[in-house]
């Protein structure tokens, strides 16, 4: 009898133990999943060149190896500092990837930021040194055009590049005319990130060669803010030594990671700014309703709109970039065209609209106007 009860007890405990283990296992498998769901930002890190394409050649090292090491260091730093950020690499080892495919990886993953990492080169023995960061645009100087030409000539190693890039000849300056007529929708955020990168390079003691524009094929097809960083000059022997060194690669990655921190903070503030505005608007609502009769005139009243796009050129009405949205209007700021959709003095109403619009324009945010002027 006793033995029977004891063994029943033992079985009961065993079954409880199995259940606990199962719960434990489930929790174990669930945890990473729950963690993954909280990631609200995706960054794609693109180590330039790879495989049969060495990139610029130094006397000791090739560009592709430096790019890869800095890219991996950068990804590691971002992952350490931002559990909410998903890091995706276009390559994590020494392999060849076509330029269009690099942009496609970012597009397929609906990335929020694309960072392409490269090393610059001039004639061997040239004393030029320092870092520069590019956003997509028409090169204004021959120097910038040469950088784009060198980087774009990677396509010559791709099969059927003539068809894939619609006859684009990376070595002919005439090919680059397409960048004059191209719309760059994310120019404002791209320049913002590029400036942060240059600031952080300067703080780390790098020579700051500034934010520049040129026609890079790898940036052309990306549909998010994107930059191409030239870490330094492999053609300069002391720079090559720095670029090859573990300490140099860590310094460069740390600078870009610091720039990412600053950029991400602005991104988060903008998101939470909308939520904060919503809370204060609904708190004020009751009071506002009482005095509505006194506010019949529009003068001095704040009007909200949703900014959906920024472009460095004016867009035609009905442009495909508006994704079928009608009655899109724009305002100009710092030489850029900023396109807005919707208009209301009721913040709740504009919030409702913003939630809808955000499905089509991920970066959309609310802007306020008073007497026709943009206000903070």
Residue nearest to Zn ion (CB): 118
Of the pair 148, 353, the CB lying nearest Zn ion is at 148
CB of 120 to Zn ion, least distance (A): 8
Cα separation, 199 vs 39, in Å, equals 27
| 183/333 Cα distance (integer angstroms) | 17
Distance, CA of 45 to CA of 53 (rounded, Å): 18
**Nearest distance in Å: CB 61, Zn ion:** 13
Of 91 and 118, which has the nearer Cβ to Zn ion?
118
Q: Report in angstroms how near the CB of residue 117 gets to Zn ion at its nearest.
A: 8
Interface pick for Zn ion out of 151, 188, 239, 312 (rule CB under 5 A): 151
Residues in 44-63 at the binding interface with Zn ion, rule: CB under 5 A: 48, 55
Q: Which is nearer to Zn ion, 151 or 188 (CB)?
A: 151
> Per residue, what are the HEC states of 211-245?
EEEECCHHHHCCCCCEEEEEEEECCCHHHHHHHHC
**Dihedral, 216, 219, 220, 225 alpha carbons, nearest 10:** -140
Q: Is 232 in the site for Zn ion (CB under 5 A)?
A: no
Contact yes or no for 151/118 (Cβ under 8 A) = yes
Number of residues that bind Zn ion (CB under 5 A): 4
Q: Which is nearer to Zn ion, 151 or 363 (CB)?
A: 151
Quote the distance between the C-alpha of residue 159 and its chain's center: 29
Closer CB to Zn ion, 143 or 261, in the complex: 143
Q: Is the dihedral of CA 56, 163, 88, 95 positive or negative?
A: negative
Cα–Cα nearest to 113, from 362, 290, 333, 311:
362
Beta carbon nearer to Zn ion, 48 or 137: 48
By CB under 5 A, name the one of 82, 91, 102, 118 that touches Zn ion: 118
Q: Which helix (H) or strand (E) holds 87?
A: strand 85-89
CB of 63 to Zn ion, least distance (A): 5
Shortest CB 277 distance to Zn ion, Å: 42
Q: For binding to Zn ion (CB under 5 A), which residues are involved?
A: 48, 55, 118, 151
């Amino acid at each position: 009898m006793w033995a029977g009860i004891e063994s029943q007890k033992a079985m009961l405990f065993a079954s409880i133990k199995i259940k606990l283990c199962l719960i434990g296992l489930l929790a174990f498998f669930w945890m990473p999943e729950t963690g993954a769901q909280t990631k609200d930002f995706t960054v794609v890190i693109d180590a330039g060149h790879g495989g049969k394409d060495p990139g610029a050649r130094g006397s000791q090292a090739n560009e592709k190896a430096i790019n890869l090491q800095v890219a991996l260091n950068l990804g590691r730093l971002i992952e350490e500092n931002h559990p909410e950020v998903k890091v995706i690499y276009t390559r994590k080892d020494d392999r060849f990837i076509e330029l269009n495919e690099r942009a496609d990886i970012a597009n397929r993953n609906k990335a929020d930021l694309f960072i392409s990492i490269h090393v610059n080169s001039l004639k061997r023995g040239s004393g030029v040194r320092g870092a520069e960061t590019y956003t997509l645009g028409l090169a204004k100087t021959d120097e910038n055009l040469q950088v784009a030409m060198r980087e774009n000539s990677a396509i010559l190693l791709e099969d059927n590049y003539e068809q894939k890039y619609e006859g684009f000849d990376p070595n002919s300056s005439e090919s680059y005319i397409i960048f004059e007529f191209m719309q760059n929708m994310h120019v404002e955020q791209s320049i913002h990130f590029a400036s942060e990168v240059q600031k952080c390079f300067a703080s780390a003691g790098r020579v700051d060669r500034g934010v520049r524009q040129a026609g890079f094929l790898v940036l052309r097809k990306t549909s998010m803010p994107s930059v191409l960083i030239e870490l330094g000059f492999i053609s300069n022997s002391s720079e090559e030594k720095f670029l090859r060194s573990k300490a140099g690669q860590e310094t460069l990655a740390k600078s870009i990671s610091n720039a990412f921190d600053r950029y991400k903070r602005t991104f988060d503030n903008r998101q939470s700014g909308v939520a904060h505005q919503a809370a204060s608007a609904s708190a004020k609502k009751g009071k506002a309703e009482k005095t509505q009769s006194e506010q019949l005139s529009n003068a001095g009243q704040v009007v909200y709109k949703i900014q959906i796009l920024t472009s460095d050129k004016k867009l035609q009405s009905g442009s495909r970039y508006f994704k079928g949205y009608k009655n899109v209007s724009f305002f100009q700021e710092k030489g850029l065209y900023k396109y807005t959709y919707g208009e209301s003095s009721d913040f709740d109403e504009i919030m409702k609209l913003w939630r809808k619009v955000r499905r089509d324009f991920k970066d959309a945010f609310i802007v306020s106007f008073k007497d026709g002027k943009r206000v903070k």
